[in-house]
């Protein structure tokens, strides 16, 4: 019998607190949209300092479970346990944003190409409905973020590979709040026509069953998204 004599590192206080809060989120104590208790309340609850709580919240942010809003606190944005994590992501850093977008580009461009090959007539109709929903939101003076996300989810689902959806959702969760802010900026800067032009190009390629063009259109769209996020960072905005 082989005996493992290695000494295992005890979890740090940050890991323990992050784990406790994560359990509360994934078990349903906190729902999406719920505000977490304040740093003071959490530090009293767990008997740790506020800097420990702050680092634990940072861990949950990197895991895509919570987002912080300046002056308001931390809010739950996802309740599913995430097995894959990106360590050390700083969403106030332009390089980290670019790196996440590049990963998202690799996943979604491949999924979009597969959707062009595999989509059913029903799936194409669902993608088209979401395309029209985005345009309606724009026409109504809205940012259309949820409609946009639904459009891309329909495409990823049409790839026929559920793992693409899991990875896409995970990566998107890291930049979702930036996407919302960039879209609000696009409203002010009249860039929504470019956004929708990119969407139409993606849809047309999928409808034509052209995987090469679908991949190219998806990559162009995500490069455009990266540029819009870069403009947002340059303007000094921070993720909420």
pLDDT at site 173? 65
pLDDT at site 93? 66
pLDDT at site 240? 44
pLDDT at site 209? 97
The domains of the chain, with CATH numbers, are 13-76 (1.10.10.10), 94-234 (1.20.120.530)
What are the average pLDDT values for consecutive 10-residue runs of the chain, which has 240 residues? Answer: 48 88 91 92 94 91 84 87 60 69 86 97 97 93 85 94 81 63 58 89 98 96 78 56
Residue 190 · residue 183 · CB < 8 Å: no
Phi, psi of 12 (to 5 degrees): -75, 165
| 3 state SS for 122-150 | HHHHHHHHHHHHHHHHHHCCCCCHHHHHH
Phi, psi of 90 (to 5 degrees): -120, 105
pLDDT at site 3? 46
User: Rounded distance, CA 47 to CA 69, Å?
Assistant: 24
pLDDT at site 149? 85
pLDDT at site 222? 85
Instruction: Measure Cα distances from 159 to 8, 78, 171, 227, 237 in Å.
Output: 42, 23, 17, 26, 34
pLDDT at site 113? 97
Cα R_g (the chain), whole angstroms:
20
Query: Which two structure tokens, joined as six digits, stand for 3?
Result: 């005996």
Residue 25 · residue 65 · CB < 8 Å: yes
CB environment 98-120: b (16+ within 10 A), e (fewer): eebbebbbebbbbbbbbbbeebe
User: Rounded distance, CA 146 to CA 108, Å?
Assistant: 17
**Model confidence, pTM:** 0.62
């Amino acid at each position: 019998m082989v005996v493992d004599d290695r000494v295992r590192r005890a979890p740090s206080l940050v890991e323990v607190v992050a784990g406790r809060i994560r359990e509360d989120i994934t078990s349903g104590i906190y729902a999406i949209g719920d505000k977490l208790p304040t740093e003071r309340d959490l530090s009293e609850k767990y008997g740790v300092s506020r800097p420990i709580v702050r680092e634990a919240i940072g861990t949950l942010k990197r895991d895509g479970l919570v987002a912080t809003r300046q002056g308001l606190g931390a809010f739950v944005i996802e309740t599913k346990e995430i097995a894959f994590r990106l360590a050390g992501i700083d969403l106030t850093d332009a390089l980290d944003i670019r790196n996440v977008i590049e990963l998202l580009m690799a996943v979604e461009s491949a999924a979009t190409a597969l959707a062009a090959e595999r989509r059913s007539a029903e799936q194409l109709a669902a993608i088209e409905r979401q395309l029209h929903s985005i345009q309606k939101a724009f026409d109504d003076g809205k940012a259309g973020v949820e409609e946009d996300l639904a459009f891309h989810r329909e495409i990823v689902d049409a790839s026929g590979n559920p793992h693409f959806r899991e990875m896409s959702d995970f990566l998107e969760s890291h930049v979702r709040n930036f996407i919302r802010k960039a879209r609000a900026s696009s409203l002010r800067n009249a860039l929504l026509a470019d956004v929708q032009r990119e969407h139409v190009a993606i849809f047309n390629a999928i409808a034509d069953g052209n995987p090469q063009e679908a991949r190219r259109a998806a990559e162009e769209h995500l490069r455009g998204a990266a540029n819009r996020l870069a403009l947002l960072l340059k303007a000094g905005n921070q993720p909420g």
